[in-house]
Structure 1
Amino acid sequence: MTHPHKTIVFDLDGTLVDSLPDIISSFQYGFTSLGLPAPTDAEVRPLIGHPLEAMYAHFAPAHAASLCTVYREHYARNFVNRSRPYPGVVELLRTLRERGYRLAIATTKRTDMARRFVEALGLTPALDHVQGTDGFPHKPAPDVIHRALAALGTAEGLWMVGDTTHDVHAGKAAGLRTYAVTWGNHDAGTLATAAPDELQPDLGRLLEHLPPLPRA
């Protein structure tokens, strides 16, 4: 009998990686390049975590397709200008792997972009699977979490860790416990409306919930 691998699922942007400045600047670049007035940082930030097309449609529905094309070209060249893992993330992932857990990413980024991003930041060796959202319902639907777990074969999802209410709702819908971190896109008050199991300023408390697994 094959025992399920106990798996922790993480969002990427705003959860493991402080990437919002690069995302916002690339998002704004699209407007500038097409001669359109660009929204401010404060206007863009609440929309991060939604699909790119929906974000652009909010501001310029007639130009959304063109803006997406410009964004993807620009972001692919500038995605690690300022983006870095949050303090303690690399150590946390290493510790969880040492304790016997599988680690997966479930992000709204497209899979190809997410994997390039993770690789550029040097996080690929710390993760078992990187799952993006490719043509199926995005968070708060649980589809991306289900696909991440399915990709690992016999995977039992324990926690969904994220920085937005979309992550929390998706985790709950997938039957996982939810851990919301406040250093990303949604503040503590916003996150509290989704009633996560843990609401914390960083990822430190996650280790308290995940002791070393018994060796097979």
Structure 2
Amino acid sequence: MFKVEGAEARPDRGLPSRKNIFFDLDGTLTDSGSGIINSVQYALDKMALEEPHPEELFRFIGPPLHHTFSTRYGLTNTDTDKAVGFYREYFSEKGWAENQVYPGISAMLGQLAERYRLFVVTSKPEVFARRIIAHFELGPFFENITGSRLDNTMTDKTELIRHTLSTCELDPAATIMVGDRKYDIMGARNNGVTAAGVLYGYGTETELLEHGADHLLRTVSDLGGFLLNE
């Protein structure tokens, strides 16, 4: 029996009437930590910067790169652009493939796609998101993939969700956003979309609940059971 936590405070925001499901990519569909962290370390080496606390590199999984590089290391706009450029240099060649689909995701998507409209909404550059989705043969499950631009626009999750709702002419009240970080939860709530947080990714239960998650799912199995439950 799967366990859904965090829904008690908002019992009116369940799934039964939801027809559209938005999925984050990193930490939700794929375990991308190695590729992202290796790309960050490559950029830091190129910039002659040191991270004294390696565990802090996990900060880069989820939020826009420019924000994390600039705030973590106090970089100027010019140096932030350089760091992101070095990151993408590694990521575009190697980092994107240092990644794996979470066990059970493909089977779950196959079942969901028979009943719902599925979308990917990620702050990762769309060109990389599409490459990863195609590489893991997940493309047929999704109606649309929305990501940020390489010119560092469209990086905010609120904007990305709003853009997808508008472009695909979707009703926010009939939509649920699934993600592992606070940015997914905030983006959903800012658009009137139900927010479901997963705990097998890179966010914590505290982080997701503090930012208003309507539901929390601990495993991929829990997530599938919840989304398929009518």
For the superposition of Structure 1 and Structure 2, which TM-score range results when normalised by the shorter chain? 0.7 to 0.9
Higher relative contact order (CA 8 A, sep 6+): 2
Q: Which of 62, 66, 70 is residue 53 of structure 1 equivalent to?
A: 66
Shift of 1:137: 5.6
2:91 counterpart letter in structure 1: Y
- Note the 1:119-130 alignment, pairs <5 A: 119-130=134-145
User: Residue deviations 1:87-142, cap 9 Å, x none?
Assistant: 111111110012x2111111111212211221122211221111012313602xx2
How many residues are treated as equivalent by the alignment? 206
Which residue in 2 is equivalent to 1:35? 48
Change (3 A) 1:117 1:208: closer
The answer to which of 204-213 and 169-178 deviates more is 204-213
The answer to whether the aligner puts 1:136 opposite 2:136 as a matched pair is: no
User: Residue deviations 1:48-67, cap 9 Å, x none?
Assistant: 32211111112140321111
The answer to whether the aligner puts 1:201 opposite 2:201 as a matched pair is: no
Shift of 1:204: 2.7
User: Residue deviations 1:124-181, cap 9 Å, x none?
Assistant: 1221111012313602xx2211222333345664210000111111111121211101
Shift of 1:46: 2.7
Which residue in 2 is equivalent to 1:85? 101
Residue segments in structure 2 that go unaligned for 5+ positions in a row: 1-17
Q: What secondary structure is seen at the aligned counterpart in 2 of 1:122?
A: coil
Q: Which of 104, 110, 124 is residue 125 of structure 2 equivalent to?
A: 110
Which residue in 1 is equivalent to 2:37? 24
Change (3 A) 1:32 1:211: closer
Identity of counterpart residues, as a percentage?
29
TM, length-normalised to structure 1: 0.85
Residue segments in structure 1 that go unaligned for 5+ positions in a row: none
Q: Which of 161, 185, 193 is residue 145 of structure 1 equivalent to?
A: 161
> Contact 1:104–1:127 at 8 Å: present in 2 too?
yes
The answer to which of 102-111 and 144-153 deviates more is 144-153
TM, length-normalised to structure 2: 0.80
Q: What secondary structure is seen at the aligned counterpart in 2 of 1:159?
A: strand
> Contact 2:124–2:147 at 8 Å: present in 1 too?
yes
RMSD of aligned Cα (Å): 2.2
